Amino acid sequence: MTFTRSLLLAIGSIGLLAGCGHSTPEDTLPTAAPTFATAVASAEDGRSEQVWDGVVEAVNQATISAQTSGRVIELPYDVNDTVAEGAVIVRFTDVEQKSAKSRAQSQIASAQAAYDEAEASYQRISEVYARKLVARAQLDQERARRDAARAALNAARAQFSEVGQQMDYTVVRAPYAGIVTERFVQIGESVRPGQALIAGVSLKDLRVSVQVPQSAIAPIRALQAADVLLPGDGSRRVAASKVTVFPYADPATHTFTVRLELPGDNTGLFPGMTVKAAFATGEAKRLLVPLTALVARGELQGIYVVDGSHVRLRQIRSGHRFGDSVEILAGLVAGERYATDPAAAAQWLARRNDGGSQ
């Protein structure tokens, strides 16, 4: 009973669409030529496409971890906050690091003094040795002491650099501009090296990851062309700047991962979204008409077809949109004339039918 009712409703909808053209016996009678604007449908060169779902990913996404120990004293950003590149996102206490820096500075001063004394002693012995007043062994001994003092000084300087790096680690900065997606610590919490602090993504550089069946991968690999259909009415497309086909398939699903790199301007796209990706698979003829030429009646679509002085509203099936045009898959063929202004065509039909009934 439900199936019969649904079928009757569908037939009634199609009849309503056909009735929009006011088709009457007068439609077959010779009348004056239409006065509204028309155009001839023509097939244009294009590419055949296959469409699959993909997931938007951020090229730059990272979890920042601690590289030194300390207690969190500053945490200016929370989840969903926008962070500028180089901004401080976490700050630790630095008491231990400052103490270590002071010790390193003292070690440098001590090593520098020892080196200066060893260098001066070596120079004195060298002058005496030149006059043949001391043995060569004594000169070698002083040279070794000087070299050891130089090595100790270099080690102290390296230790100071390491301590300075530890000081820098107490202030964590954003590596790039982005959005905070997760925060793992709180103010006052003690952290250790390697502990996760904060995670974020950049919205500047995005890509789309698509799982493509192995049966369709050959033309995609050969043509290297794809568009991402932006959310909305499907009219906006973004051409992928780079198509990367992974050289291996998933053994469980037998699909290849194809990664589409997107240009910088990705208005309306965010990581985690699902989008349609249209891949070029060959050459094809495509019948395009202006979107404004279509008439919508619920889920049904139609177009006014003009044959001489005869005008009828014909149901069509449309495909993807390309800017302000839409692809016609069925209901209209190349060479047929159609009304570019459906409102004007409907008014012309109404006037003609009113005139025929008088």
pLDDT tens readout for residues 278-294: 898 887 778 888 888 88
The pLDDT tens digits for 141-177 are 888 988 888 998 888 888 777 776 667 788 899 998 9
The domain made up of 18-44+286-357 has a fold known as: 2.40.420
Cα–Cα distance, 314 to 44 (Å, whole number) = 22
Is the per-residue pLDDT at 6 higher than 50? no
pLDDT in tens, 73-97: 999 999 999 999 999 999 988 777 6
CATH number of 67-93+170-201: 2.40.50.100
pTM over 0.75: no
Cβ neighbours around 267 below 10 Å, total: 7
Domain ranges (residues) in the chain: 18-44+286-357, 51-60+203-284, 67-93+170-201, 94-169
Residue 218's pLDDT band (cuts 50, 70, 90): very high
Q: Which fold has domain 51-60+203-284?
A: Elongation Factor Tu (Ef-tu); domain 3 (2.40.30)
Q: Which CATH number fits domain 94-169: 1.10.287, 1.10.10, 1.10.357, 1.10.3470?
A: 1.10.287
pLDDT per position as a tens digit, 44-68 = 777 778 889 999 999 898 899 998 8
